[in-house]
Structure 1
Amino acid sequence: MSDEPKTHTPKDSHYARLRRAHRDRTATPGESAAPKRARPHHPGQPGASDRVRLYGLHTVAAALGNPERRLHKLLATRNALARLELDTDALPCPFEIVEPRALDVALGSDAVHQGVMLEAEPLPQRRVADLSQASLVLVLDQVTDPHNVGAILRSAVAFGAGAVISTTRHSPQESGVLAKSASGALEHVPSIQVVNLAQALDELSAQGFQTIGLDSEGAEELEPSFKAGRIALVLGSEGKGLRQKTRETVDVLARLEMPGAIRSLNVSNAAAVALYAARRHLASAEG
């Protein structure tokens, strides 16, 4: 079952606005957008090795509306095209109308594709040095589950995080599963991958970020630990938590105070709670 909200889409919806964005992306000054012709395609064949297959209505809609996303081809059922309210003459890439079974073959029967798949290149990576405008970032210390990372991305977008930083190893790469779990959020928050997390944390500190590692045994509660106008929240992997080097590098180890019998949360839930608290602190500091 899809985790995306089942809502009826009004005429001036997010999907309807995509049609205008498509025309802007494909038209040159003084000209209307040239029609994109459907190209023959065999869904069962693998794409280029450096491409990703994105699927799901919200995921594909967000990717189509992202000017930084390089697109290759769109496969969709007639029903999915209707639900997306796409103007096929203004699509920014070739498309093909297919039957649902073709997408099942291409993506596997477990993929909840909702009748649409977009083949594209991974998004460009940013650097820690690019965070001059950010006041809040998330740092993931080897969080490995793409579903957790996708949920974290959604919370990062919801609370206005400037980036999500992860490690190049022991972290999920961009994929259809991760993008579907993020439900479009992948297109709205910059992703930064680093080889050496401790070095990245030092770089964040040099930029004025207070680096706070979340740990259920942290000496301080999270909210009172906020001291700066720029916050980097650091979350550890499922099960093991923060690595020892990370614990030694952050400015402070803080805990989410939970009076109940369960003293720890899933990493994606902890990220949402911590982001909410950090955003309240930053809003108060700015006020």
Structure 2
Amino acid sequence: MSSPKVVFGFHAVGVRLKTAPQSILEIYFEPTRRDARMRSFLEKVAQYGVKLVEADGLRLSKLAGSHAHQGVAARVQAVQLRTSLDELLEDLEARNAALPPAQRTPPLLLVLDGVTDPHNLGACLRVADGAGAHAVIAPKDHAAGINATVAKVASGAADTVPYFMVTNLARTLNELKERNIWVIGTSDAAPQSLYQADLKGAVALVLGAEGEGMRQLTAKTCDALVHIPMRGAVESLNVSVASGVCLYEALRQRQVHIA
């Protein structure tokens, strides 16, 4: 079993309590905070029978590695969402095969190339969860890993969205293409708009870090490149905002298609 880690903040701890209470070793809370939000939170904890430990703000800050703990932190065991990307895709394929065509859900993946800021990663995981993406993929050597800051910003999505760090991103993208998953990258220089792309089928949306964008090999591996229309003075969007725009456009097209 892996070593315990710490998640903090009402959203992150609350989602872990809801989705995997058995993984929580103990929850630390600041007893001097007695507002309605804390009272409601402690009532939920009591329902699950999780051990509660009183801790002052200093101890919570040390546990969380941040002052943004909101008076709540938890020591937890890691939750294994899927052992591999292949396993996730095979499970999804098997599930779809058992459903009538109108009820099938084609894979929707978010690929991040060069996103090293944990705040950006956390926000990307949160929007991926909201849009129903099946997984987020990133290269091992050029990306942020899951830590307490990521979990806090993700507001619980770090426990619900599988995050796969792969050794060779270009090879992984080619393997996705072999599974008939259309790989679409974003680039300011792309002639085609995001809104001209067909995102109703199996798709992996690839975004690079703000400013630098995707690496050249990653861009070359994509089946197509699209741009997000920019009508104002700024030239680009934060990667988490761009992820939201792309994922929710895919969701919109799929809902229209189903309707």
Q: Does 1:119 align with 2:75?
A: yes
Residue equivalent to 1:199: 171
Kindly provide the amino acid, as one letter, of the partner of residue 229 in structure 1. G
Larger RCO (CA within 8 A; separation ≥ 6): 2
The alignment partner of 2:19 has SS state of: coil
Residue equivalent to 1:59: 12
- By how many angstroms is 1:274 displaced? 0.8
1:211 to 175, 183, 193: 183
The alignment partner of 2:44 has SS state of: coil
Q: Does 1:91 align with 2:63?
A: no
Contact 1:211–1:234 (8 Å) recurs in 2: yes
> In structure 2, how many angstroms separate the alpha carbons of the residues matched to 1:89 and 1:157?
26
Q: Does 1:107 align with 2:79?
A: no
- By how many angstroms is 1:68 displaced? 8.3
- By how many angstroms is 1:76 displaced? 1.4
Contact 1:122–1:174 (8 Å) recurs in 2: no
**Aligned pair in 2 of structure 1 residues 187, 107: CA closer, same or farther (>3 Å)?**
closer
- By how many angstroms is 1:227 displaced? 5.9
After TM superposition, the score normalised by the length of structure 1 is: 0.75
- By how many angstroms is 1:228 displaced? 5.3
Q: Does 1:276 align with 2:232?
A: no
Contact 1:63–1:69 (8 Å) recurs in 2: no
Kindly provide the amino acid, as one letter, of the partner of residue 70 in structure 2. Q
After TM superposition, the score normalised by the length of structure 2 is: 0.83
The 5 Å alignment of 1:74-223 reads 74-78=27-31, 79=34, 82-84=39-41, 85-88=43-46, 90-92=48-50, 94-108=51-65, 110-124=66-80, 126=82, 127-129=84-86, 130-132=88-90, 133=92, 134-223=106-195
Contact 1:217–1:255 (8 Å) recurs in 2: yes
Any unmatched runs of 5+ in structure 1? 1-47
How many residues are paired up?
A: 238
Q: 1:142-191: per-residue Cα shift (whole Å, max 9, x none)?
A: 21111111111111111111111112222222111111111122222222
Larger proportion of helix: 2
> In structure 1, how many angstroms separate the alpha carbons of the residues matched to 2:5 and 2:171?
29
> In structure 1, how many angstroms separate the alpha carbons of the residues matched to 2:71 and 2:59?
9
**Amino-acid identity (%):** 35
Residue equivalent to 1:239: 211
> In structure 1, how many angstroms separate the alpha carbons of the residues matched to 2:208 and 2:175?
19
The 5 Å alignment of 1:35-50 reads 50=3
> In structure 1, how many angstroms separate the alpha carbons of the residues matched to 2:6 and 2:189?
40
Contact 1:128–1:204 (8 Å) recurs in 2: no
Kindly provide the amino acid, as one letter, of the partner of residue 164 in structure 2. I
> In structure 1, how many angstroms separate the alpha carbons of the residues matched to 2:49 and 2:135?
29
- By how many angstroms is 1:276 displaced? 1.5
Contact 1:139–1:234 (8 Å) recurs in 2: yes
| RMSD of equivalent CA atoms | 2.3
> In structure 2, how many angstroms separate the alpha carbons of the residues matched to 1:276 and 1:82?
35
Larger Rg: 1
Contact 1:144–1:238 (8 Å) recurs in 2: no
Contact 2:9–2:68 (8 Å) recurs in 1: yes
**Aligned pair in 2 of structure 1 residues 121, 169: CA closer, same or farther (>3 Å)?**
farther
- By how many angstroms is 1:206 displaced? 1.9
